[in-house]
């Protein structure tokens, strides 16, 4: 153990850039502020590494919170090679792409009254039911154009959806030819819409077939890195994808509000992932505990500032 690198007290300057703040947090270096600064170093290294396949995992309700644009801008900027998302984030992305909006609300209210007013609540964000009517029209139209014979992959279905949208995560991914994986797609409004459609139609979407393309990407990767927003299916699906290959992830950054002591994967440390071989023994990896509506924009703004230099 050594005591060689002193904590520098943070000096704030009015008008300082986000990158300057994150660098100051790095010189302080403690707790989650320090972890965030290390995350910026790792994410910068991962984005600069031309030989690394860059995964982005997107859990939580990030799009309703206004974090979707950061994801689509990362895709447009060429910083994402593979996206793995929950169905919910994609549902809300489609809703925003169709011109519907989420609204500033409050977490302290009567949910029964909200129900009467046909407003759905996501913590302190409100979403009127109207949005789901537009969503239904859109989804039913998309489903109706699908070929009834050969089974689709989930990523294939999402690419079709993305091709019909002008903006947002799915639109950017389709435009950039970036695969979007969503293993639990049935667990979302997309799933419910599919059920509606299947009352009178038949289309088959294969639950497993995306593994082929994904594993192929993993086998071909010289190096691999992952930015994990939240845990859940995206985190596990990304980390397990390298399990079958001879190597693991070389870079990993996790932004999560979960905790390790509950035993769940969402809060599991990235060190734990080393025991499984999902992450290499000498991978650069860090977890930042906190709300991703703070840590995700901080991290990305700081790294984009560095890349812009």
Residues marked as catalytic = 278
Contact between 178 and a second copy by CB under 8 A: the answer reads: no
- What's the alpha-carbon Rg for the chain, to the nearest Å? 20
Contact between 149 and a second copy by CB under 8 A: the answer reads: no
Tell me how far CA of residue 147 lies from CA of 110, 139, 171, in angstroms: 44, 15, 21
Q: Is 152 exposed, middle or buried (0-12, 13-18, 19+ CB in 10 A)?
A: middle
Q: Is 155 exposed, middle or buried (0-12, 13-18, 19+ CB in 10 A)?
A: buried
Contact between 222 and a second copy by CB under 8 A: the answer reads: no
Pick from 43, 54, 94, 126: which binds a second copy (CB under 8 A)? 126
Residues 6+ positions from 204 with CB-CB distance below 8 Å? 150, 151, 152
Residue 178 beta carbon to a second copy: minimum distance, rounded to whole angstroms? 19
Whether the CB-CB separation of 303 and 43 falls below 8 Å is answered with yes
Using CB under 8 A, which of the segments 47-55, 158-166, 220-228, 286-294 binds a second copy? 286-294
Contact between 247 and a second copy by CB under 8 A: the answer reads: no
Contact between 304 and a second copy by CB under 8 A: the answer reads: yes
Q: Is 187 exposed, middle or buried (0-12, 13-18, 19+ CB in 10 A)?
A: middle
Q: Smaller CB distance to a second copy: residue 45 or 77?
A: 77
C-alpha to C-alpha distance for 295 and 42, rounded to whole angstroms: 14
Q: Smaller CB distance to a second copy: residue 210 or 250?
A: 210
Q: At what angle do helices 130-144 and 87-97 cross, to 10 degrees?
A: 100
Residue 64 beta carbon to a second copy: minimum distance, rounded to whole angstroms? 7
Contact between 254 and a second copy by CB under 8 A: the answer reads: no
CA angle 95, 73, 53 (to 5 degrees): 110
Q: Smaller CB distance to a second copy: residue 177 or 281?
A: 281
Pick from 78, 195, 201, 222: which binds a second copy (CB under 8 A)? 195
Q: Which residues inside 91-120 make contact with a second copy, applying CB under 8 A?
A: 96, 101-105, 107-109, 111-115, 117, 119-120
Pick from 57, 156, 183, 225: which binds a second copy (CB under 8 A)? 183
Contact between 134 and a second copy by CB under 8 A: the answer reads: no
Contact between 274 and a second copy by CB under 8 A: the answer reads: yes
Residue 107 beta carbon to a second copy: minimum distance, rounded to whole angstroms? 7
CA angle 89, 22, 54 (to 5 degrees): 45
């Amino acid at each position: 153990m050594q005591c060689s690198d002193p904590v520098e007290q943070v000096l704030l300057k009015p008008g300082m850039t986000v990158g300057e703040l994150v660098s100051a947090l790095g010189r302080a270096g403690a707790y989650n502020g320090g972890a965030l600064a290390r995350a910026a170093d790792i994410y910068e290294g991962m984005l600069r590494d031309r030989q690394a396949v860059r995964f982005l995992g997107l859990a939580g309700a990030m799009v309703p919170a206004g974090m979707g644009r950061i994801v689509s801008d990362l895709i447009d900027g060429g910083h994402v090679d593979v996206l793995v998302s929950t169905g919910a984030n994609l549902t809300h992305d489609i809703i925003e792409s169709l011109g519907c909006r989420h609204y500033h609300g409050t977490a302290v209210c009567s949910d029964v009254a909200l129900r009467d007013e046909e407003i759905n609540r996501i913590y302190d964000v409100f979403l009127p039911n109207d949005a789901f009517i537009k969503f239904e029209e859109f989804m039913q139209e998309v489903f109706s154009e699908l070929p009834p014979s050969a089974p689709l992959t989930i990523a294939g279905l999402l690419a079709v959806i993305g091709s019909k949208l002008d903006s947002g995560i799915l639109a950017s991914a389709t435009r950039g030819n970036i695969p979007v994986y969503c293993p639990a797609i049935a667990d979302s409004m997309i799933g419910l819409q599919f059920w509606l459609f299947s009352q009178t139609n038949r289309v088959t979407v294969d639950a497993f077939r995306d593994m082929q393309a994904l594993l192929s990407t993993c086998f071909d990767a010289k190096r691999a890195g992952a930015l994990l927003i939240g845990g859940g299916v995206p985190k596990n699906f990304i980390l397990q994808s390298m399990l079958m290959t001879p190597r693991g992830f070389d870079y990993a950054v996790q932004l999560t509000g979960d905790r390790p002591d509950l035993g769940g994967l969402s809060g599991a440390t990235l060190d734990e992932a080393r025991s499984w071989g999902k992450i290499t023994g000498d991978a650069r990896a860090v977890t930042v505990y906190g709300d991703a509506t703070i840590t995700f924009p901080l991290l990305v703004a700081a790294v984009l500032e560095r890349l812009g230099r």
